[in-house]
């Protein structure tokens, strides 16, 4: 691969509408991204989703001969966060599964959701939420969490992880290292958490540790500052968290996705071009840029320039590429 194609494997984009536009095709020809994330704006029915996924994969084969398949993902958590409506499975929020406390039911549901997504042409579900709901005033997690007990969250998180994999999609555990104790929503602004590292090890990190032991190969970072780990950087931009804590201490060898780089927390950390470079420097493997075409193009150019200037060594790009390829080699289209 040339440098542009390598960088493309590190970028996952969203777009408008239920069908791929000529504009998206022209963008793809110039900037061969490695994956797409779908939202309710892209959904009409199961057949339309299947055709949409098939068309985008066909583009990839036609315009990038020899390229690996695209990652195609969605947030289909259940409850209030589900992008595809009926006739897709109407799962309750994770809190319901936690209160039922029958992990085999959680696994069974995840298996069915995973199979349904896989049959529709997707290969990633950005779920389960592994955040522990320790703050009742949290404006964004709430019933997306299995509950306030880290061991309960672990049991159901691992059950969901294994169910999704059995259904044929890669699950993405989120939001590392934990969004459950925040009092602000990172979609709108930059939350900070002052929990000690010792307390995080007993609570927030437990479901992630157990998820990794249970076979989790993809994680999503949180746009949250953890003041007692790295007071200077949100987790997405923190090498201390994504490389030091996650990879070196916890031994995670899989893929790290950023949360959406267009969220309100990001500009409180860095301007957009710098944020893209910082995220990769910190340890992100794939940047999610869910809507804005100009920002998607900026991400490509920012990473290209960072490599050409020597700020990012190409071997750092190759490290992420190797992780991407290791999982994409298991995909069938």
What's the CATH code of the domain at 156?
Answer: 3.20.20.300
Angle, CA of 77, 96 and 151, to the nearest 5°: 85
- Domain assignment present for residue 32? The answer is no
Three-class DSSP category at 305:
helix
Three-class DSSP category at 176:
strand
Catalytic residue (one of 187, 230, 271, 285): 187
- Domain assignment present for residue 331? The answer is no
- Domain assignment present for residue 86? The answer is yes
Q: Per-residue pLDDT tens for 198-249?
A: 999 999 999 999 999 999 999 999 999 999 999 999 999 999 999 999 999 9
- Domain assignment present for residue 148? The answer is yes
Q: Per-residue pLDDT tens for 115-157?
A: 999 999 999 999 999 999 999 888 899 999 999 999 999 999 9
Whether residue 95 is predicted with pLDDT greater than 80 in this model: the reply is yes
Catalytic residue (one of 75, 259, 260, 285): 259
- Domain assignment present for residue 139? The answer is yes
For the chain, give percent helix, strand, coil, nearest 5.
45, 10, 40
Q: For this structure, is 175 an active site residue?
A: no
Q: How many domains does the chain have?
A: 1
Q: Tell me, yes or no, if the pTM score tops 0.95.
A: yes
- Domain assignment present for residue 31? The answer is no
Handedness of CA 229, 243, 290, 123 (dihedral sign): negative
For residue 306, the enclosing domain spans 70-286+293-326
Q: For this structure, is 285 an active site residue?
A: no
Antiparallel, parallel or unpaired: β 76-78 and 81-82: antiparallel
Q: Is it true that the peptide bond before 272 is cis, omega within 30 degrees of 0? A: no
Whether residue 305 is predicted with pLDDT greater than 80 in this model: the reply is yes
- Domain assignment present for residue 38? The answer is no
Whether residue 55 is predicted with pLDDT greater than 80 in this model: the reply is yes
The pLDDT confidence band at residue 183, using thresholds 50, 70 and 90, is confident
């Amino acid at each position: 691969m040339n440098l542009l194609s390598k960088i493309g494997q590190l970028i996952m984009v969203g777009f408008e509408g239920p069908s791929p536009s000529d504009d998206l095709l022209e963008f793809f020809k110039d900037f061969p991204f490695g994956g797409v994330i779908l939202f309710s704006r892209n959904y009409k029915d199961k057949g339309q989703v299947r055709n949409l996924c098939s068309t985008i994969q066909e583009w990839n084969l036609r315009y990038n001969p020899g390229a690996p398949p695209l990652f195609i993902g969605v947030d289909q958590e259940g409850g209030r966060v589900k992008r595809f409506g009926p006739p897709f499975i109407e799962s309750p929020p994770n809190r319901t599964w936690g209160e039922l406390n029958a992990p085999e039911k959680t696994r069974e549901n995840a298996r069915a959701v995973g199979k349904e997504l896989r049959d529709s042409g997707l290969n990633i579900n950005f779920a389960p939420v592994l955040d522990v709901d320790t703050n009742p005033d949290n404006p964004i997690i709430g019933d997306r969490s299995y509950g306030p007990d880290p061991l309960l969250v672990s049991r159901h998180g691992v059950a969901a992880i294994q169910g999704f994999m059995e259904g044929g999609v890669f699950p993405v555990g989120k939001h590392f290292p934990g969004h459950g104790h925040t009092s602000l929503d990172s979609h709108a602004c930059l939350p900070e958490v002052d929990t000690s590292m010792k307390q995080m090890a007993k609570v927030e990190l437990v479901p992630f540790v157990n998820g990794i032991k249970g076979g989790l190969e993809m994680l999503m970072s949180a746009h949250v500052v953890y003041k007692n780990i790295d007071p200077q950087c949100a987790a997405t931009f923190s090498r201390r968290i994504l490389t030091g804590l996650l990879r070196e201490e916890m031994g995670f060898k899989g893929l790290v996705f950023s949360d959406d780089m267009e969220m309100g927390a990001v500009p409180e950390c860095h301007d957009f071009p710098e944020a893209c470079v910082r995220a990769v420097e910190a340890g992100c493997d794939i940047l999610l840029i869910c809507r804005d075409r100009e920002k998607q193009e900026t991400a490509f150019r920012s990473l290209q320039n960072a490599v050409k200037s020597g700020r990012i060594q190409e071997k750092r790009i190759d490290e992420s590429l190797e992780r991407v390829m290791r999982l994409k080699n298991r995909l069938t289209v």
